[in-house]
Amino acid sequence: MTPLLIAGPCAVESEYQVLTTAARLHEVAAQHSLPLDYFRAGVWKSRSLPDTFAGVGATAFPWLAKIQNTYQTPVCVEVMTPQQVELCEKYGIYAVWIGARTGVNPADVQSLADAVAHKPFTVMVKNPLVPDLELWSGNVERFLRADVQKVMTIHRGFAAHAENVYRNAPCWEIPVSLKVRFPELPMLCDPSHLCGCTKWIPQIAQIALNYDFDGLMTECHHKPQTALCDASQQMTPVQWADFIRHLNLSPTADPDRALLRQRALLENIDTQISELLQKRMHIIDEIADIKKTNNLPVLQHKQWQQVEKRYLSPHQDALYQIFIKQFLSLLHQSSIERQK
Ligand code: PEP
Ligand code: MN
């Protein structure tokens, strides 16, 4: 089954940018017979820092209406307030998503549910920033009770500590549990916000499909390097089509399916370990510089005992402990060699 596909820029930046991105996306989609179910584009952006680009606002609507008319592709935007819902209606935009930041406040979510109630809206409920299944589930429930045309959910990962590989942590068990609660609702993955950079997107999207997700929302920009926000996670339309075409879309029967899922998870964990080991080596090089500048010895036994403590615990089985000790010994040797 072909997944539901949503693509488009993080934010509308100008008429040229949004029309060019839409034109190129439709061109590559047609070329490869890929369905582009919705075109996404943020009109208002909820940004962490006050001086960063916060979207062009309602100015974007005539451009988005033009895209809907030209390609007959519904456009979806993020809404954060009931006033924004009103503007969407005024300009004929009937697909909206609830962002991760809004999702942490049930009062805001309820006021949005009231604003779309009994209207022909499609509402995509992204997971809230915090990894809280009840909160996400409660948000979904509010829109189901509002009797809108369609409700979908979007997994975009959960706010994570900076030393992670991804921008956000996948916590796969949460979207999978939500899908068990609402099996009839399409569940999409937004690998762009989850990963924070394009290089991880294919892997994460494949895992989502292996977990029976129904679609993907991906950020695309005609010239990502110039994007005013989320530049590192936006793909060009050509990259997007290439990535979608290389996904394995054909579900295989169990137990192959289970194997496929586990292998994709393993591949993903391996690349994360590899990335973290490289980060660790980089920090070792910085430590070497500090030691050299301050005439400190390379070998500091107490420090290494601390490292071992992080990896070893009495709950681990004997085989695992043997492995970890060998692994740490290698790590230690390599770290000493680098510092020398
Ligand atoms: C977005 O999709 O543009 C966005 C801001 O996403 P999120 O709420 O998931 O961060
Ligand atoms: Mn974005």
Residues paired with residue 126 on neighbouring β-strands, in sequence order: 154
Ligand index nearest the alpha carbon of residue 101: 1
Atom 6 of ligand 1, residue of closest alpha carbon: 99
pLDDT for 161 beyond 80: no
Tell me the CA–centroid distance for residue 290 and ligand 1, in Å: 40
Q: What average pLDDT does range 8-20 have in this prediction?
A: 98
Cα 230 to averaged position of ligand 2 atoms, centre (Å) = 5
According to the model, what pLDDT value does residue 110 have?
Answer: 98
Ligand 1, atom 9: nearest CA belongs to which residue? 100
Task: Look up the pTM and report it.
Answer: 0.85
* Centroid of ligand 2 to alpha carbon of 160 (angstroms): 16
**Mean pLDDT, residues 306-317 taken together:** 91
pLDDT at 94 exceeding the cut of 80? yes
Three-state secondary structure readout of the chain: CCCEEEEECCECCCHHHHHHHHHHHHHHHHHCCCCCCEEECECCCCCCCCCCCCCCHHHHHHHHHHHHHHHCCCEEEECCCHHHHHHHHHCCCCEEEECCCHHHCHHHHHHHHHHHCCCCCEEEEECCCCCCHHHHHHHHHHHHHCCCCEEEEEECCEECCCCCCCCEECCCHHHHHHHHHCCCCCEEECHHHHHCCHHHHHHHHHHHHHCCCCEEEEEECCCHHHCCCCHHHCECHHHHHHHHHCCCCCCCCCCHHHHHHHHHHHHHHHHHHHHHHHHHHHHHHHHHHHHHHCCCCCCCHHHHHHHHHHHCCCCCCHHHHHHHHHHHHHHHHHHHHHHC
Per-residue pLDDT tens digits for 199-216 = 999 999 999 999 999 999
Confidence band for 61, pLDDT divided at 50, 70 and 90: very high
pLDDT over threshold 70, residue 28: yes
Residue 262 has pLDDT above 90, yes or no: no
Ligand 1 nearest atom to the CA of residue 103, by list position: 8
Atom of ligand 1 lying closest to residue 97 CA = 2
Tokens of 215: 């679609």
Q: How confident is the model at residue 141 (pLDDT cuts 50, 70, 90)?
A: very high
Instruction: List, as ranges, residues with CB under 5 A of the ion ligand 2.
Output: 10, 230
Q: Find the 304 Cα to ligand 2 centroid distance in Å.
A: 41
Residue 46 alpha carbon, nearest atom of ligand 1: 5
Rounded average pLDDT over 215-220: 98
Q: Name which residue sits closest to atom 4 of ligand 1, judged by CA.
A: 99
CA of 102, nearest ligand number: 1
156 lines ligand 1 (CB under 6 A): yes
| Tokens linked to 101 | 């930041």
CB atoms within 10 A of CB 279: 12
Which ligand is located closest to the Cα atom of residue 78?
A: 1
Measure 29 CA to ligand 1 centroid, in angstroms.
Answer: 23
Task: List the single range of 182-196, 224-238, 286-300 with lowest mean pLDDT.
Answer: 286-300
pLDDT value for 162: 66
Is 40 a pocket residue for ligand 1 (Cβ < 6 Å)?
A: no
126 lines ligand 1 (CB under 6 A): yes
Q: Residue 251's pLDDT is what?
A: 61
Most confident among 220-229, 279-288, 306-315 (mean pLDDT): 220-229
Query: Chain-wide mean pLDDT for the chain?
Result: 94
The yes-or-no verdict on residue 261 having pLDDT over 80 is no
Q: Which atom of ligand 1 is nearest to the CA of 127?
A: 9
Q: What confidence tens digit (pLDDT) does each residue in 178-198 have?
A: 999 999 999 999 999 999 999
96 CA → ligand 1 middle, Å: 12
10 Cα–ligand 2 center, Å:
4
CA atoms within 13 A on the CB side of 309: 6
| pLDDT surpassing 90 at residue 228 | yes
